[in-house]
Structure 1
Amino acid sequence: MLTKIEHGPLMDRVYRHQRHFYDATRKYYLLGRDPMIAGLTPPANGSILEIGCGTGRNLVMAGEAYPTTKLFGVDISNEMLSTARKKVMAAGLGERTQLAYADAAKFDPSSLFGLAQFDRIFISYAVSMIPQWENVMREAVNHLAVGGQLHIVDFGDLKDLPGAARAALYKWLEWYHVTPRNDLFEIAETIAVGAGAHAEAQRLYRGFAWISIIRRTA
Structure 2
Amino acid sequence: MYRHQRHIYDASRKFYLLGRDQLIARLDPPPCGTILEIGCGTGRNLIKIARAYPGRPCFGLDVSAEMLATARQSVERAGLSDRIALKQADATAFEPVALFGSAGFDRIVISYALSMIPPWQAVVEEALRRLSPGGELHIVDFGDQSGLPAPFQAVLNRWLALFHVTPRRDLAAVLDDIAGAAGTSARTQALYRGYAALAMLRSAA
Same fold (TM over 0.5): yes
CA drift at 1:127? 0.0
Is the contact between residue 143 and residue 190 of structure 2 (CA under 8 Å) also seen in structure 1? Answer: yes
2:157 equivalent to 1:194: no
2:22 aligns with 35
Alignment of 1:120-159 (within 5 A): 120-159=107-146
Alignment of 1:1-218 (within 5 A): 14-218=1-205
Distance 2:66 2:139 in 1: 23
Residues 145-185 of structure 1 show CA distances to partners (whole Å, capped at 9, x for unaligned) of 01100011000011211111101111111111000001111
Is the contact between residue 159 and residue 166 of structure 1 (CA under 8 Å) also seen in structure 2? Answer: no
CA drift at 1:217? 3.0
Count residues in correspondence.
205
Distance 2:132 2:178 in 1: 16
Is the contact between residue 145 and residue 169 of structure 2 (CA under 8 Å) also seen in structure 1? Answer: no
User: What's the TM-score once normalised by structure 1's chain length?
Assistant: 0.92
Letter paired with 2:138: H
Q: Name structure 2 gaps, 5 residues minimum.
A: none
Q: Name structure 1 gaps, 5 residues minimum.
A: 1-13
**SS state at 2:144 partner:** coil
Is the contact between residue 142 and residue 197 of structure 2 (CA under 8 Å) also seen in structure 1? Answer: yes
Distance 2:41 2:178 in 1: 25
Identical-pair percentage: 57
Is the contact between residue 137 and residue 201 of structure 2 (CA under 8 Å) also seen in structure 1? Answer: yes
CA drift at 1:198? 1.9
Letter paired with 2:9: Y
Residues 31-82 of structure 1 show CA distances to partners (whole Å, capped at 9, x for unaligned) of 0000001111100101000000000000000000001100000001000000
User: What's the TM-score once normalised by structure 2's chain length?
Assistant: 0.98
Letter paired with 2:200: I
Distance 2:67 2:194 in 1: 28
Distance 2:147 2:177 in 1: 25
**SS state at 1:151 partner:** strand
